[in-house]
Structure 1
Amino acid sequence: MKRSFLKALFACALYLTAGTRLFAQDFNVTAFGAVADTTKLSTAAINKAVDACYRNGGGRVVIPAGNFKSGTIVLKDNVELHLQRGAVLYASTRHADFPAQQRPEYRSQKDPGGWYAFIYAVNAKNIAISGAGTLDGRGASQSPRPGLPQGDLDGRPRNVLFISCQNVSVKDVSMRNAGIWNQHYLNCEDVIVDRINVYNHANRNNDGIDIDGCRRFVLSNSIIDSDDDAIVLKSTGSAGCSDVVITNCITSSYTNAIKCGTESTGGFKNITISNCVVKPTKSKEPPIFGRTNIGITALSLEIVDGGIMDGVNVNNIVIEGTECPIYVRLGNRARKYMEGIPTPPSGTMRNVRISNITAYNTGNYCSSITGVPGALIENVSVDHVTFRNAGGLKSGEYIARHDLVSEDEKGYPEPTVWKALPSSAFFIRHVKDIALSDIVLASEKPDERTAVIAVDVLNLSIERMRTLSGAVPEVQLIDVKQARTEPGLKRRD
C-alpha cells in the first residue's frame, strides 16, 4: 500500500514537472535572430520570440548576457521578459523604431494620440520583467517628434509602459536613462514591483516610477534616483489609485522624492507609504529642469484636478536634504484629462496620517498643509516628527506675514510658489480637524520665524512640541476655532 502510494506520488511529480516545462518554456532571443551587437537592431527577433512564447502558452523570453539594441517590444499574455545577469538591452534612438501605438480604449491626459515606449503592453495579463540585467533607454539621445505637442507629450519613449494590464510583476532589473518617464503603469491591477534599481538623469521629465490610476499595487525594496519626481502616484484619467503599498525604498530626486499628484482626477484611496529613506541624488550633473540641487520636497500629497484623497498613511521616513520635508495641498487647478468633458469640481482630501518622520539638512521651505477657501482638508494627524532646517534667514528673506501668502489655488502645486514662508515648521491654512503632537524642532542657525502658523482652521490640537534645547516654540493662530494647546505653549492669537 505504501509502495503504491509512493509510486503514484512520484508519477504525479513527474507529470507536474513535465507540465511546468511544457507551459513555462524559455525562448532565447538569439534563436530568433537577435545579436549581441549594438550596431544591429534586434527588434524583430525579440518580438518574434515574444510571439512564439505567447503562442505556446507562455514562458520566458530570455535576453542572454551581452549588449543588444531594440525598438519597441510588445509583451503579450503570459510572457516574461527575462534579462540575464550581464544582459543590457539598449533602446534605439531612431524615431522609426518606436512607432506610435494604437490609441488604447483607456484615455489619459498624458496620451499624445498614440503612445511611444521601449517595453509596451496593453490589456495584457500575467506579464513580467525579471532578471539581473539592465534596460537602458539612451534617454539623452531621445528627441521630441515633429508635429507633436511640446512638453511631456512630445513622443519621447518611456522605458516601460503598461496600460490596462492585470497581474504584472517587475523584479530585480536595473533601469536607466529613459527618454521621459522611466516606468508608467496606467490603469493596471495587481502589480508587484520589487528589488528594482532605477537611475534616470538623461532628459526632461525623467520620473523614476509613475503609478497612475492603478489598483492593488506594491512597490518594495527598490532604489530610485531621478532628475524629476522619483516615486509618483498619479491619476491622469478617470481611474484612481487605490490599495497601494510603497515600502522599504530609497529615493532621490532633484524635484519631489515621494509624491501623490499633480494629476488627481480619479483620486487616491488607501495608500500606505512606510520605511523609506529620502536622500540627495548621487548624480554629479546639475538638474536638467534647473531646480534645486537638494530636491524640492520629500513628501507631497496633492489634490488639484478634482478627485478624492481618502486614507493615506505615511510612517517611518528618514529625510536627508530637500528644501521642504512635507507638502500637503488641496488646490483647484481643475485641469481636464481630455477634451469634451466637464471641468472637475474642487476635490476632497481627508484622513491623512503622517508619523515618525526625521528630516535633517533641509532648506527653509517649511512644511505646509493647505486647502483653499471653500475646500478644507479634513482629519489630519502629524506626530513624532523631528525637523532640523538650515535656519539663518533674516527679515526680507522670507514672506513677512501670513496674509501675504498667496492662495494660488489655480497654480502648479509646489512649495516653490511660496519658497520661505513666515513659519519655520508648519504653515496650516483652510483645514478642519488637525492634530500635531510630539514635534521636535531645530535649526543649523537660529531661525527667527514663528514655528507654526495656523489660519482659518477648525479644531486644532498641538501637544508636546519642543526645540532640541527644550524651549517651547511660538505658535500663531489666526481665525482658529476650537484650538487646544498644552499649557505653557507660546501663543499669538
Structure 2
Amino acid sequence: MIVNKIIAFKTVLISGVAALLISSCAKQTAKVSDANPWKKMELIIKSIPQTQFPDKTFNIKDFGAVADGKTSNTIAFEKAIKACAGNGGGRVLVPNGKYLTGPIHLESNVNLHLEDNAEILFSINPKEYPMVHTSWEGTELMNYSPLIYARNKTNVAITGKGTLNGQADATNWWIWSGGKDYGWKKGIPSQNDPENREVLIEMAEKGIPVEERIFGEGRYLRPNFIEFFECNTVLVKDITVINAPFWILHPIKTNNIIIDGVTVNSHGPNNDGCDPEYSQNVLIKNCTFNTGDDCIAIKSGRDADGRRVAIPSKNIIVQNCKMIDGHGGVVMGSEISAGVNNVFVENCVMDSPNLDRAIRIKTNSKRGGVVEDVYVRNLEVGTVKECVLRVTMFYNVYGSQTGNFIPTVRNINLENITVKNGGKYGVWAEGYEESPVENITLKNVKIAKVGKPYLLKNVKNINFINTNANEKKVETIKN
C-alpha cells in the first residue's frame, strides 16, 4: 500500500512537473522568433517528460507463459501486467522465445520489455479481441481491441530489441481490406461492404455517440497494432514490428510520447508506420519505416468526428529516421479535420523506387482543417516516384470527398535537401482560388533529376532560394 502511494505520488509529480515545463515552454516558445523555428523545436523536446520505472521485474514465465509459439499466453501476460501495476510498477519481462497471445492491455507504470530474441506472436482469431473504445481511420467507435492497447494510462512503455509479430497476411486480417492484392476476391466480406466503413462515417456525421457505434464481429474493420489512447508520458524504444493488420503505432489523444529506435517492416494494406492523432509533444527519432502505406502520417480526425473532438496535432518532431517503401515519408492527413501545426522534420534519409513522395499534405473540402508551420531540413532523398513535396486540397479516395469545409494550408519550409531522383515534380501543390496554398519556401534544395521543377495551381507566395532542378536554378515565381 505504501509503495503504491509512493508511485502514485511520483506519477502525479511527473505529470505536474511536465505541465509546468510545458507551460514554461509555451511561454518561451511564444518569445522565439519565427525566423528561427528550430529553437522552438529544441524547447519542445526539453519539455517532454521521461518515463521512470521501479527496479522490479515480473517475468511472464513466472506467470505461466510458455515459449513454444503455439500455447496461448494471453492470461500469463494479463497476470504479469496486473501484478506489476499492483506492486507499484516496473518491468514486465518477455524472455527470449516465441510467445503466442491475444491482445495485451497495458497499465500505468508498466514497461513491457522484450529481450533481444523474444518474439510476441499475436493471434489471428478475431474472437480473441474484445470490443474497446478505439478509432478507425480517424473516426472513434467500439471495435476490436488493438493488439497492444493502453487507455488513460500514465508512465507506460514498450522497450527492448525483440519483435512484435501481428501475423497478418492475405489469409486473415489483410483480406478484409477488399484489396485484390491482399487475398480478397468477389464474394468475400470486407470493410468496403455498405454496412461497414460507410455506416461508421454516417454515424459520425449524424453525431451518434461513440458508445453506440458498435462494430467488431461481422463488420470487418481491422484493429490497430499499438494504440495509446488518452495516455501521457509514453516510451516505445528499440522494438521491431512486422505483419500488422492495419495502422501500426497509433498514439491518439496522447501527449508526451517518445518513439525511439523502432523498426517497422510491414507491407500490408493501410500499414502506416506511425499515426499520431490528436496528439501533442511527439518525438519520433532513430526509426526505420518500410511500409505498405505512409511511413509517418500525422492525423487529427475525420470530417465531423475531427471537428467534434477539435484537438489539433501539434509539436510533432521527426529526427534521424530512415524511410524506405511507403506512400509518403512524412505526411499530414488525410484525416486532418482538427488541424496540424508545428511539425519539424530533420536529418532523415528517404530512398526507394516504392516511396511515392518525401513530404506530403493531403486534405479536401470534407476534411477541412488548418495545416501550418511545417519545417523540414537536412534530408537526403535518393529516389521518390512522384515528387519531393506534394500538397493537395483535393485528396479523393473512397468516393466523393467534397463538402463545405475549405482547408487552409500555409507556411511550409524545406531547407538543405538533396535529391537524386525527384520523380515527376519537385513541388506539386494545388489549392482553392478562395483558399490558396500559402507561403512555400525551398532553400538550398538540389534536385539532380526531376520531370519538372513544379506544378502549381492556386499557390500564393512560393519562394525558391538557391534551389536547383536538373542542374538549373529555379526562379521564384512572382504572384
Tell me which interval the TM-score lies in, with the shorter structure as reference length: 0.7 to 0.9
Residue 441 of structure 1 is matched in structure 2 by 469
Larger Rg: 1
1:350 aligns with 2:415: no
Question: Residue 327 of structure 2 is aligned with which of 252, 255, 263?
Answer: 255
1:150 aligns with 2:215: no
1:112–1:149 contact (8 Å) kept in structure 2? no
User: 1:76: how far off?
Assistant: 1.0
Structure 1, unmatched stretches of 5+, are: 1-20, 281-292, 336-342, 392-423, 443-465, 482-493
Matches within 5 A, 1:266-345: 266-280=338-352, 294-304=354-364, 305-331=367-393, 345=405
Give the structure, 1 or 2, with the largest relative contact order (CA under 8 Å, sep 6 or more): 2
User: 1:154-211 CA deviation, whole Å, 9 max, x = no partner?
Assistant: 332322111111111001111111111121111110000001111112x211111111
2:262–2:288 contact (8 Å) kept in structure 1? yes
1:131–1:172 contact (8 Å) kept in structure 2? yes
2:53–2:111 contact (8 Å) kept in structure 1? no
SS at match of 2:71: coil
Residue 168 of structure 1 is matched in structure 2 by 234
User: 1:98: how far off?
Assistant: 1.7
User: 1:127-167 CA deviation, whole Å, 9 max, x = no partner?
Assistant: 10001111111111532399873389633232211111111
Matches within 5 A, 1:2-401: 23-101=54-132, 103=133, 109-140=138-169, 141-143=171-173, 144=176, 149-150=191-192, 154-201=220-267, 203-236=268-301, 237=306, 238-280=310-352, 294-304=354-364, 305-331=367-393, 345-389=405-449, 391=451
SS at match of 1:264: coil
User: 1:107: how far off?
Assistant: 9.1
Question: Structure 2 CA distance, aligned partners of 1:53 and 1:60?
Answer: 7
Question: Structure 2 CA distance, aligned partners of 1:198 and 1:381?
Answer: 31
| % identical equivalent positions | 28
User: 1:249-281 CA deviation, whole Å, 9 max, x = no partner?
Assistant: 00112421221111111111111001000012x
Question: Structure 1 CA distance, aligned partners of 2:124 and 2:454?
Answer: 46
SS at match of 1:38: strand
1:364–1:389 contact (8 Å) kept in structure 2? no
Question: Structure 1's 260 and 194: CA in aligned 2 closer, same or farther, altered over 3 A?
Answer: same
Could you say which structure has the higher strand fraction? Answer: 1
Superposed CA RMSD in Å reads 2.8
Question: Structure 1 CA distance, aligned partners of 2:99 and 2:63?
Answer: 13
1:112–1:148 contact (8 Å) kept in structure 2? no
Question: Structure 1's 366 and 441: CA in aligned 2 closer, same or farther, altered over 3 A?
Answer: closer
User: 1:208-246 CA deviation, whole Å, 9 max, x = no partner?
Assistant: 111112100000011111121111111123322101110
Question: Structure 2 CA distance, aligned partners of 1:314 and 1:90?
Answer: 37
Question: Structure 2 CA distance, aligned partners of 1:316 and 1:380?
Answer: 17
User: 1:367: how far off?
Assistant: 2.2
Question: Structure 1's 131 and 70: CA in aligned 2 closer, same or farther, altered over 3 A?
Answer: same
Q: TM-score, normalised by structure 1?
A: 0.71
1:77–1:127 contact (8 Å) kept in structure 2? yes
Question: Structure 1 CA distance, aligned partners of 2:254 and 2:80?
Answer: 24
Question: Structure 2 CA distance, aligned partners of 1:294 and 1:320?
Answer: 11
Residue 209 of structure 2 is matched in structure 1 by none
1:170–1:193 contact (8 Å) kept in structure 2? yes
Question: Structure 1 CA distance, aligned partners of 2:297 and 2:354?
Answer: 18
SS at match of 1:255: strand
User: 1:84-115 CA deviation, whole Å, 9 max, x = no partner?
Assistant: 111001111111222222x26x8973445324
